[in-house]
Copies of this chain bind each other. A is one copy, B any other.
Amino acid sequence: MNKRLKHTVAAVLALGTLVATATAVAQQAPKPEQLIKWRQSAYQVIAWNTGRVKANVDGQYNKEDVIKAANTIAALANAGMGSLYAPGTETGKGWKETAVKPELFTDKKAGEAAAAFNKEANELAKVAVGGDVVAVKAQLGKLQATCKGCHDDFRKKD
């Protein structure tokens, strides 16, 4: 093989590797619309489970049901939902148009709001194990306050 041909072959091989790598990355990175759909879904699952805890403290209390609900909320709080707010997801349609305000991507209060939600969700999972209705109700209130705070600051009104 002459020198020029060698260089050409090497260049083609290098290009092939680049294309393959780019393809792999493209396959792995979910599209913004997918990320928006996932985060909308995650909040629905959180709403389902906070609603379950509320129904228990307001009505017939079932300790096991509250533990399951609180564990699901805590798992989502710890899941790393921040990755669902990747660049490119400031606008767009998941199940529906995102209601996120642009401030969420720039205001450092957003991180604090997420940390507060995380803290109260983990605390609810702990309190649920105790099975004390009054304590669970109080902790649910603290958790819901973090939901409301974040909605007020970073979610457009319907």
Contact = CB atoms under 8 A, between A and B. Distances in A.
A155 interface: no
A44 to B, nearest CB: 4
Interface of A: 24, 28, 30, 37-38, 40-42, 44-45, 47-49, 51, 55, 58-59, 65, 68-69, 71-72, 74-76, 78-80, 84, 95
Contacts of A49: 79
Contacts of A30: 51
Contacts of A95: 95
Nearest to A29: B55
Nearest to A60: B28
A68 B80 contact: yes
Contact of A45 (B45, B58, B68): B45
Summarize A's interface: helix, strand, loop or mixed: helix
Contact of A38 (B48, B58, B78): B48
A68 B59 contact: no
13 contacts: A24-B59, A28-B59, A30-B51, A38-B44, A38-B47, A38-B48, A40-B41, A41-B44, A42-B48, A45-B76, A48-B84, A71-B75, A75-B76
Contacts of A28: 55, 58-59
A28 B53 CA distance: 11
B42 A45 contact: yes
A59 to B, nearest CB: 6
Contact of A68 (B41, B44, B79): B79
